[in-house]
Amino acid sequence: MKIAITGGTGFAGKEMTDLFRQQGHEVFVLTRSPKPSQGGVHYVEWLTDNAKPELELAGIDAFVNLAGSSINDGRWDEEQKKLIYSSRVEATTEVLRIIRALEHKPEVLINASAVGIYPASTEKSYTEDSTERGEDFLAKTVIEWERLANEAKEHGVRVACGRFGIILGKKDGALPLMALPYKLFGGGTVGTGRQWLSWIHVNDLARAVLFAIETTELEGPFNVTAPYPKRMKEFGKEIGHELGRPHWFPVPEFVLKAVLGDKSRLVLEGQRVLPEVLQKHGFEFSYPDLRSALADIYK
């Protein structure tokens, strides 16, 4: 297949690009700073004044849209929140324009989303059938992101929105920051410790996206989370166990709120999100439990 991917130079995007190539697919990475093609990966300029990516994307079979400013960068002040929101709207609007411009439409659009669409809860579990929606900044951003992506259906494109959990990898994503206090022998419970953390190994995330591309009956939202989420306290203990470090130094809520602002919600609040759609369609996780995921990451 020919697969176009936005955000392909980021943490998750690189993992997907590598996996797609390993499986024999031709990959077209949309970027503001293109470079020469290499190893079956083509770099296509987009979101610049003179870019016309549609001219290089003829015959594309699938589109993966990951583009958007990272939610892990910096404190969430009003300027940063505006950037997080506008970057996703701008990128998805351009993806829709490209799809309209293509004579041969892609068969499927896999659009990134997030488990933050669900309300925070220490008691409830959420599947794709859950209708509850959060009312905070991240939830409202994700709701609009999915709404825009679904406009591709008007052009006969199958749309599936992958609601990503916390992505775990050794060098990027949330895990290095979460593990740092343990490496310094200062790790411990964050906030109450009862908040849920729905996570996914970066390799399973890439495999799940490819699975969604190849599974023609999979459409709509699908949760990209491991089947065994953890409460924050237990999550921290697992990190300490894997690194051989103690879990003893608690981090009060007020400290994180002072340092991170609204971004503190990412670790102080959470949702227990289950990957029902992926499992119903037969997807098998390589790292279904946290201990096996951390063992692979830190091997």
What does the pLDDT look like over 150-181, one tens digit per residue?
999 999 999 999 999 999 998 887 787 777 77
Q: What is the largest CA-CA distance in the chain?
A: 59
Structural domain spans, the chain: 2-297
* Superfamily the domain 2-297 falls into: NAD(P)-binding Rossmann-like Domain (3.40.50.720)
Share the mean pLDDT of the chain: 91
Stated pTM of the model: 0.93
Task: Look at residues 52, 142, 128 and name the one whose alpha carbon lies nearest to residue 94.
Answer: 52
3-15 tens-digit pLDDT: 999 999 899 999 9
**Cβ neighbour number for residue 1 with a 10 Å cutoff:** 18
pLDDT of amino acid 256: 62
Pairing of strands 230-231, 196-197: antiparallel
The pLDDT of residue 184 is above 80:
no
Q: Cα separations (Å) of 10 from 83, 176, 213, 257, 275?
A: 17, 16, 20, 27, 24
The pLDDT of residue 262 is above 90:
no
Q: Which residue has the tokens 């093609």?
A: 37
CA distance 160 to 108: 8
Report, as an integer, the average pLDDT of 95-115: 97
Enumerate helices (H) and strands (E) in the chain, giving the number of each.
Answer: 10, 13
| Neighbouring-strand partners of residue 125 | 272
Lowest mean pLDDT among 145-154, 172-181, 187-196: 172-181
Pairing of strands 220-224, 166-168: unpaired
Per the document, the length of the chain is 299
Q: What angle do CA 151, 117, 288 make, to 5 degrees?
A: 105
